[in-house]
Amino acid sequence: MKLAVVGATGLVGQEVLRVLEERKFQFDELYLVASAKSVGQTIRFKNKDYSIISMEECCKLVPDVAIFSAGGGTSLEWAPKFAEMGTIVIDNSSAWRMDPTKKLIVPEINGHELKIDDRIIANPNCSTIQMVMALAPLHVKYKLKRIVVSTYQSVTGTGKDAVQQMMDERNKVEGQKVYPHRIDMNALPHIDVFTENGYTKEEMKMVNETRKILGDQTIGVTSTTVRIPTIGGHAEAVNAEFYHDFSLSEVRETLVNTPGIIVQDNPKNNLYPMPITAHGKDEVFVGRLRRDESQPNTLNMWVVADNLRKGAATNAVQIAEFMLEKSLVY
């Protein structure tokens, strides 16, 4: 099996390589791809040096699976070319997520939708993935009516330059600015660009992607996304209204028994999910479970996950594993 990692020098690409090694993903050949300025450089992976190659060269080599983490423009240009050669492209950008001809996949939730002729598969937005992981099993039991979510998102979601801006500000060093304002010691209610309706693209991703993944266009979703000066992962305050009532004990039991979820919900002992403890983990952490006492059938929860892991790299590798396990690679 020939595997390609596109965008191998970026934050997500580097995390993909770590996840591949940790999960002992099996391949016969590995191609690492990055921008033209990186071609010829080497990356060490599993005690072997791999030379970075160009997109053109990689496409000609026809990998069986290519995990793209190189931005929307690159994906729009190159994913169809790879797919035409027969490669399965698993894309981490937003380029294909809302394309009605492409699947938007979280394997634990809707992996069953994948078919052998799916050549371009979209990996959802990081903040969407962790929220639907926590809500999907509850949607099955109680049926979601409306979601109100506020996010507190790591600078790693923007990339290496954003991390550098935060550290420069922390160390009182002048450097390149990625954000329109200072990020260290601050909170920016501004992720991606603003759209005509006053929401950001990130906020609208959470609305539209949630409905697509859960397969229910009737769910009301409203979102406020905020960038904060942390590195370990994204956190979300989620308020979910259901059509059917629930007991907190049953909700907790359902989540405890959901693969990929870890419940940390013991406030008396100061146990609840945090980015610092989610960092480097593949699971989605859920806590602060409590009823919304202002209206019926409504639950409050706090959801945290490493945005570079389950929010990007791990989910992409899990899609590849699923395709191989179900013999959907030819």
> What is the domain partition of the chain in residue ranges?
2-124+312-325, 127-307
Which among 144, 306, 123 has a CA at the least distance from the CA of 219?
Answer: 144
Residue in 126, 139, 181, 244 annotated catalytic: 126
pLDDT for position 194: 98
- Count Cβ atoms within 10 A of the Cβ of residue 178 and give its class: 0-12 exposed, 13-18 middle, 19 or more buried: middle
Whether 105 has a pLDDT exceeding 80, the answer reads: yes
Mean pLDDT throughout 33-49?
94
Mean pLDDT throughout 174-202?
97
Distance CA 160, CA 311 (A): 16
Indicate if the alpha-carbon torsion angle 15, 21, 27, 32 is positive or negative.
Answer: positive
Query: What is the per-residue pLDDT across 66-89, written as a single tens digit (0 to 9) for each?
Result: 999 999 999 999 999 999 999 999
pLDDT for position 330: 76
pLDDT for position 245: 98
Is 181 an annotated catalytic residue? no
Whether 329 has a pLDDT exceeding 90, the answer reads: no
pLDDT for position 11: 93
| H, E, C per residue of the chain | CEEEEECCCCHHHHHHHHHHHHCCCCCCEEEEECCHHHCCCEEEECCEEEEEECHHHHHHHCCCEEEECCCHHHHHHHHHHHHHCCCEEEECCCCCCCCCCCEECCHHHHHHHCCCCCCEEECCCHHHHHHHHHHHHHHHHHCEEEEEEEEEECHHHCCHHHHHHHHHHHCCCCCCCCCCCCCCCCCECCCCCECCCCCEHHHHHHHHHHHHHHCCCCCEEEEEEEECCCCCCEEEEEEEEECCCCCHHHHHHHHHCCCCEEECCEHHHCECCCHHHHCCCCCEEEEEEEECCCCCCEEEEEEEECCCHHHHHHHHHHHHHHHHHCCCCC
pLDDT for position 58: 97
pLDDT for position 144: 98
Mean pLDDT throughout 133-150?
98
Mean pLDDT throughout 196-207?
98
Mean pLDDT throughout 36-58?
95
pLDDT for position 201: 97
pLDDT for position 28: 96
Mean pLDDT throughout 41-49?
94
pLDDT for position 149: 98
Question: Confidence band (pLDDT; 50, 70, 90) for 174?
Answer: very high
pLDDT for position 313: 97
Whether 223 has a pLDDT exceeding 80, the answer reads: yes
Query: What fold characterizes domain 127-307?
Result: Dihydrodipicolinate Reductase; domain 2 (3.30.360)
pLDDT for position 111: 97
Question: Confidence band (pLDDT; 50, 70, 90) for 257?
Answer: very high
For the segment(s) 2-124+312-325, the CATH number from 3.40.50.720, 3.40.190.10, 3.50.50.60, 3.30.300.20 is 3.40.50.720
Residue in 58, 139, 234, 279 annotated catalytic: 234
Q: Is the pTM of this model over 0.85?
A: yes
Mean pLDDT throughout 108-127?
97
Is 58 an annotated catalytic residue? no
